[in-house]
Amino acid sequence: MRRIETRESAEKKDRRNKIAIGIILVALMLLSTAGYAFFSGDKTDSEIIKVSIDGRDFYKQGDFWAFSLNNQNFYLTYLPNETGVISLSKSMRDYSGQPVYFTKNGLAEGEISRNIGSFVSKVWFACMQGENCTENWPIKNCTSNLVIIKEQDIGNNRFREEDNCVFIFSNDTIRAADAFIYKLIGVK
């Protein structure tokens, strides 16, 4: 059974609750402003890692090295001098405006897709003709721009071209993907 309250006691209780909520909200606003001020300042020059390679500046942003080339930003895991030089005849001109297909959906494919996606008409997945494929992807052969990345314990990265297919064999597929991207965009 509830006790009957007088109008004065109800107003007093209501006023007390409003004051308590107001104090909590003001404290929350002050603490959030102070937290923002302390923890979100611009990074100082000593915290930004900058590396210059062959006259090009690379900046460390999280897990990626960022650089700009012809007003296009690139974000790769490795610097060019960490990937090694590869011998391929392909360049970005071969892929520009064309669809590019990958035979699996992994980190290395994501690295390539993120960096060449604005140059190509689309990035998609496909099954290589003649191989056992459990995915419901279109079947493609080497008349299409197909990039096949296979993880193999081989010591050094190995690249092979066959018509429009590029085969990449590596035990460090992201490093190999970065080498492929550097080759395509002409960064040595």
- Domain match, 36 and 92 both: no
Listed in sequence order, the residues at least 6 apart from 8 whose beta carbon sits closer than 8 Å to its beta carbon are none
What domain count does the chain have?
2
Give the residue, 152 or 182, on which the prediction is more confident.
182
- Domain match, 22 and 83 both: no
Q: Report pLDDT for 43.
A: 53
- Domain match, 114 and 84 both: yes
Given phi > 0 = left and psi -120 to 50 = alpha, else beta, which region is 154?
alpha
- Domain match, 97 and 180 both: yes
- Domain match, 58 and 99 both: yes
- Domain match, 36 and 77 both: no
User: Looking at the whole model, is its pTM more than 0.75?
Assistant: no
Residue 33's pLDDT band, with cuts at 50, 70 and 90, is: confident
- Domain match, 36 and 88 both: no
Q: Beta strands of the chain (E only): which ranges?
A: 50-53, 56-61, 64-69, 72-76, 99-102, 122-125, 127-128, 139-140, 146-151, 158-162, 165-170
- Domain match, 144 and 56 both: yes
H or E segment at 87?
none
Q: Report pLDDT for 30.
A: 79
Which DSSP state fits 16? H
For residue 18, the enclosing domain spans 1-41
Listed in sequence order, the residues at least 6 apart from 122 whose beta carbon sits closer than 8 Å to its beta carbon are 99, 100
- Domain match, 2 and 34 both: yes
Mean pLDDT of 88-116: 93
Q: What percent of the chain has pLDDT over 70?
A: 94
- Domain match, 101 and 162 both: yes
Residue 84's pLDDT band, with cuts at 50, 70 and 90, is: confident
Residue 40's pLDDT band, with cuts at 50, 70 and 90, is: low
Q: Report pLDDT for 184.
A: 93
Q: Report pLDDT for 42.
A: 56
Res 44 pLDDT > 80 = no
Residue 65's pLDDT band, with cuts at 50, 70 and 90, is: very high
- Domain match, 54 and 34 both: no
Q: Report pLDDT for 27.
A: 80
- Domain match, 30 and 72 both: no
